[in-house]
Chain A
Amino acid sequence: AQSVAQPEDQVNVAEGNPLTVKCTYSVSGNPYLFWYVQYPNRGLQFLLKYITGDNLVKGSYGFEAEFNKSQTSFHLKKPSALVSDSALYFCAVRGDNAGNMLTFGGGTRLMVKP
């Protein structure tokens, strides 16, 4: 079975400060990892993915994530947060032998204050 843990229900940062949203995972086989963002009453928007290659992945809106195989983590980061980054963030994983099944974490609400 595969699983994703987002240990923080909410992350608060001041505008202009760096932000990190944590994600750890468990899969059999190699992981395909994704980050999505959800704004109120909207679906999920794709931010970035890790499939293979460089451990540091750059995505939309200045976000990046670092794949750490030994720690089974895929934390989302941004050097300088914007108020408009405030939203709900989901980490997701699919094992390369898991068919179509994409498993989501519980979500982390990011609050960026001016």
Chain B
Amino acid sequence: GAVVSQHPSWVICKSGTSVKIECRSLDFQATTMFWYRQFPKQSLMLMATSNEGSKATYEQGVEKDKFLINHASLTLSTLTVTSAHPEDSSFYICSARDGHGGRNQPQHFGDGTRLSIL
């Protein structure tokens, strides 16, 4: 149980393109989803927290107009990288926490999306 599906797994596109990444909880309802960015050989950096039906909470330094997050249902959150540039190239990972069982439940992670902007 507790499977999170992230799609696509790899994207290569030209500079200026907007890219949408989907994160789905397949067998549980996720009232809260998280978006992370991971640079090579580094840890995860939390970008934003999204709650179903409300605006995402962005971490300091993350441009909300650049990284649009939508969490329209209990099983789906999307991250759109708008007008992507080479410096946006990175590994993006989403995670979700089961809405039942309280805040001590672990986060379950998607397999990540490698974004390469040419």
Contacts and interface: CB of A to CB of B under 8 A. Distances in A.
B32 A43 contact: no
Interface residues of B, number: 26
B103 A44 contact: no
B4 interface: yes
A43 B46 CA distance: 14
A42 B111 contact: yes
B104 A32 contact: yes
Interface in A31-63: 32, 34, 36, 41-46, 49, 51
Contact of A43 (B103, B106, B109): B109
Given A34-B106, A42-B112, A45-B109, A100 B43 contact: no
A46 B114 contact: no
Interface size grouping (class) on chain A:
20 to 34
B44 interface: yes
In order of increasing CB-CB distance, the 6 nearest A-B pairs are A43-B109, A44-B109, A51-B104, A43-B111, A46-B106, A43-B112
Interface of B: 2, 4, 6, 9, 32, 34, 42-44, 46, 49, 91, 93-95, 97, 103-104, 106-112, 114
29 contacts: A32-B103, A32-B104, A36-B109, A41-B9, A41-B111, A41-B112, A42-B112, A43-B4, A43-B93, A43-B94, A43-B112, A45-B109, A46-B106, A46-B107, A46-B109, A49-B104, A49-B106, A90-B44, A96-B104, A100-B32, A100-B34, A100-B97, A100-B103, A101-B46, A102-B34, A102-B46, A102-B107, A106-B42, A107-B43
